[in-house]
Amino acid sequence: MSTAVVMDPPPRTLPAGTPFALAFAALVLAVAVLAGVAPVGVSVVVVFAFAGPHNWFEARYILSRLPARAGKLWPFFAVSFVGITGLTAVFAALPHLVSQWPEWTATAYAGWNTAFLWWAAALVWMRSHTNPRFDGGWVWPAACLGTAGVWASPFALSVALVYLHPLLALWFLDREIARSRPTWRPAFRTSAALVPLGIVGLYFALADAPDLPGTDPVTAGIEQQAGAGFIDAVSARFLVASHAYLETLHYAAWVVLIPLLGLKSAPWKLSDIPAARKNRRWAKGVALFLAFGLGIVLTLWVCFAADYGTTRTVYFTVALLHVLAEIPFLLRMT
C-alpha cells in the first residue's frame, strides 16, 4: 500500500526591492509629518544642510552618465548649453529689470517662460531625431498650447516649476532603478505612489491653517518662493509645508538614494566617469571641476551661517542652472 508524500509549499519570498521600497515609504511618511509640523524649520534646515551637497552629487552623477565624446549628439548638447546658461542669466537679471520698469513685470516673466518652453520643445524634437524609439511629434502643438497659457497667466509656470522640479529627482531615481536594478522597479513604484498622498494629507491638515507665526524676512522669502503671493485658495502654511516636503525628498534622492544605486565607485574616485578616462588632461579637468564644486559647497555653508536669507535668495536664483540642466540630461537618459 503506497503512502502519498505531502510536499511542503515553497516558502513565500518578498518581491525584489521590497526593503528599499519600504525604506522609501518610511522616508516619505516621516518627511510629510515633519514638514506638516514645522514647515519653516524643515525648509531652513534641509536647504542649509543639503542645497550645496545635492548639487555636487547631481553633477557627479551626470558626469558618470555623459559620454566622453558628443558625436552625433553635439547639436543637442550645444543647444542645451546655450539654453541653460542664457536662460539662467536672463532669469537672474529679471528682478533688476522689473524693478526699473515694474509695468513690464508680467510681460518679462511671460517672455522668459515662453523662451523656456520653446527651448525645452527644441530639445525634445532633437532627441526624437537621434532616438527612433522617442516620439517627439507632439512637442510643437504642446509648445503652442503652453505659450498661450503662459501669456494668459504669466506667473503660473514659474510657480509650477517650484513644485514640479523636486519630482524630477524621483524620475531620475526611477530611471536609475530601471537601469541598474530593474527587478526593484515595481516595488519602488508602489511606494512612490505615497508621494502624492503626502500632499493630499498635508492639504487636509493645513489647507485652512492660520498664517505662519514668523514675520521675519526669512519666513517671508520662504512663503514667497512657495507661491503664497500667487495662490490664495489655500494657506501659506500648506504651501510652505508642501514645498519643504518635496524639496526634502529631492535632496534625499540626490544625496543618498541615487548615489547608493548609481555610482559604481566612491564619489571621489573618477574611474566611472567616461571623460576622466579619456586622457590625463581630461581626468585632471574633471577632478578640478569636482574640487571646485566642493569649494562652492563649503562657501554656501559659510554664507548660510552668515546671512541665511540673502544666501537662500541668491542660491535659488543661481540654482536654476541645475534645474535647467536636468531637462536635457533626462532626455538623454530616455
- In angstroms, the CA 128 to CA 135 distance is 6
Secondary structure (3-state) at 154: coil
- In angstroms, the CA 124 to CA 138 distance is 10
Q: Measured on CA atoms in the order 221, 236, 242, 111, is the torsion positive or negative?
A: negative
Say whether pLDDT at 215 is over 80: no
Residue 297: partners with Cβ closer than 8 Å, 6 or more residues away: 52, 53, 55, 56
Mean per-residue pLDDT, 210-239: 86
**Nearest-5° Cα angle at 104, 103 to 107:** 135
User: Model confidence over 314-334: pLDDT tens digits?
Assistant: 898 888 888 898 888 888 776
| Ramachandran bin of 128, using left for φ above 0, alpha for ψ from -120 to 50, beta for the remaining angles | alpha
Mean per-residue pLDDT, 10-35: 87
- In angstroms, the CA 31 to CA 29 distance is 6
User: Model confidence over 283-311: pLDDT tens digits?
Assistant: 898 899 999 999 999 999 999 999 999 99
Q: Do the beta carbons of residue 304 and residue 48 sit within 8 Å?
A: yes
Secondary structure (3-state) at 265: coil
Q: Do the beta carbons of residue 241 and residue 31 sit within 8 Å?
A: no
Location of C-alpha cell 542645451: 80
User: Model confidence over 23-80: pLDDT tens digits?
Assistant: 999 999 999 999 999 999 999 999 999 999 999 999 888 888 877 676 777 888 899 9
Crossing angle of the two packed helices 320-333 and 156-180, in degrees rounded to 10:
40
